[in-house]
Amino acid sequence: MIAKFQWQDARTVQDAIAQLDGTSMVKAGGIDVMDRLKEGLDSPATLVNIRTIPGLDQIREDATGLHIGPMVTLDQLDKNETVRASYTALADAAGHAATPHIRNVATVGGNILQRPRCWYFRNEQFHCLKKGGDRCFAQDGENEYHAIFGNQICAIVHPSAVAVALLALGATFEVTGKRGERQVPSEQFFVRPDEDVHREHTLAADELLTAINIPKPASGTRSAYMKLGEKESFDWPIAEVAVVLGARPGVVLGAAAPVPWRAVGAERILAGNPINEDTARAAAKAALQGATPLRNNSYKLPIFETIVRRTILAAARA
């Protein structure tokens, strides 16, 4: 049973922010919030509903690029013709998450800000490092779905598929607080466990993610996204990757690390070379350099290598 809480329909962004005092929680689509409440992981005094704030659910394109409201649903991103044509990796990342019904409700902001899906973190019985405990149970535990990079302190994988695409596309997040707005490059938005194990992003308790801005891609830029899971629907990826080819190549791995993981070695190879089977293979190999798999998840390495190569080639053909 969910613990009791108060409910507040926010009217404006500032109205919502005024309610954020550390005892309240923001509800966007509510998918992750509902799960956390049902699992007893959170017990807010008040749930602040931001679905009632007008204007946060729109996708807009202008000369500078794409502007996505935080309440845009994954289904909107999947079906939007402009997103699909010019920001393909984002449309495919959104369109392959969860199920059709969840995509009808889940928002891009909520997808980025959801808490990790590590089964130790999600289980009330495990007081893990991330929840204020003194150990990461995944280090010596059941870690087949855990991180293969940056996993020494806490081995969660970052749960957001759209974040993987947004990082590859060079997105910037607009964050609004009591004192106004700030623009945070997506690459600086996510927090590694060695920086602060208790959080996954830099958003303060009294701030809202109010927009996602993607710079207009240079002409000829192409992108692709691929996910591999154990089943097609309602499953988290074992491995996922977003690739952007163009003046500034981007290769970002998801389900790989506690943050969306830029494969800098792969990007370097793609930047200096024509894209073909050989360079794709070399970049895919480079993407996995430095991996530190745990006892049960070294199987992820060849899977990542394969989907990185395939996604590079898919982007080249796009």
Partner 1 sequence: MSKKQNDGLSRRQFLRGSALTAAGTTILNSGLLAHAESPTSNAVGPGPVPITLRINGKDHDLSVEPRTTLADALRDTLHLTGTKVVCDRGACSACTVWIDGIPVNSCLTFVLDVGQREVTTIEGLGTPDHMHPVQAAFVEYDAAQCGYCTPGMVMSTAALLKSNPNPTLEDVQHAVSGNLCRCGTYPKVFAAALAAARKGA
Q: How far is the CB of 25 from partner 1 (least distance, A)?
A: 12
- Which residues lie below 8 Å from residue 33, measured CB to CB, with a gap of 6+? 25, 26, 27, 42, 47, 110
For partner 1, which stretch binds (CB under 8 A), given 57-65, 154-162, 257-265, 297-305?
57-65
Site membership for partner 1, residue 4 (CB under 8 A): yes
**Whose Cβ is closer to partner 1: residue 105's or residue 153's?**
105
Site membership for partner 1, residue 38 (CB under 8 A): yes
Q: How far is the CB of 289 from partner 1 (least distance, A)?
A: 36
Site membership for partner 1, residue 162 (CB under 8 A): no
- Which residues lie below 8 Å from residue 167, measured CB to CB, with a gap of 6+? 186, 187, 242, 250, 252, 260, 262
Cα angle 217, 220, 225; round to 5: 70
Q: Which of 13, 31, 94, 129 binds partner 1 (CB under 8 A)?
A: 31
- Which residues lie below 8 Å from residue 263, measured CB to CB, with a gap of 6+? 251, 252, 253, 283, 286, 287, 288, 308
- x/- contact string, 205-244, with partner 1 (CB under 8 A)? ---------------------------xxx----------
Q: How far is the CB of 178 from partner 1 (least distance, A)?
A: 16
Buried/exposed 144-175: b ≥16 CB within 10 Å, e otherwise:
ebbbbbbbeebbbbbbbbbbbbbbbbbbbbbb
**Whose Cβ is closer to partner 1: residue 110's or residue 254's?**
110
Cα angle 262, 158, 152; round to 5: 80
Site membership for partner 1, residue 47 (CB under 8 A): yes
Site membership for partner 1, residue 53 (CB under 8 A): yes
Residues 90-149 that bind partner 1 (CB under 8 A): 98-102, 104-105
Q: Which of 13, 71, 255, 286 binds partner 1 (CB under 8 A)?
A: 71
Amino acid letter at 185?
P
Q: How far is the CB of 235 from partner 1 (least distance, A)?
A: 9
Q: Is the dihedral of CA 29, 34, 35, 40 positive or negative?
A: positive
For partner 1, which stretch binds (CB under 8 A), given 72-80, 133-141, 157-165, 220-228?
72-80
With residue 282 as reference, give the H or E element that holds it: helix 277-287
Q: Which of 2, 204, 205, 271 binds partner 1 (CB under 8 A)?
A: 2
For residue 284, how many other CB atoms are within 10 A of its CB?
25
Rounded CA separation 213/107 (Å): 15
- Please count the residues of this chain forming the interface with partner 1, following the rule CB under 8 A: 57
Q: Give contact residues for partner 1 (rule: CB under 8 A).
A: 1-11, 15, 19, 27, 30-31, 34-35, 37-38, 46-47, 49, 51-63, 69, 71-73, 75-76, 79-83, 98-102, 104-105, 232-234
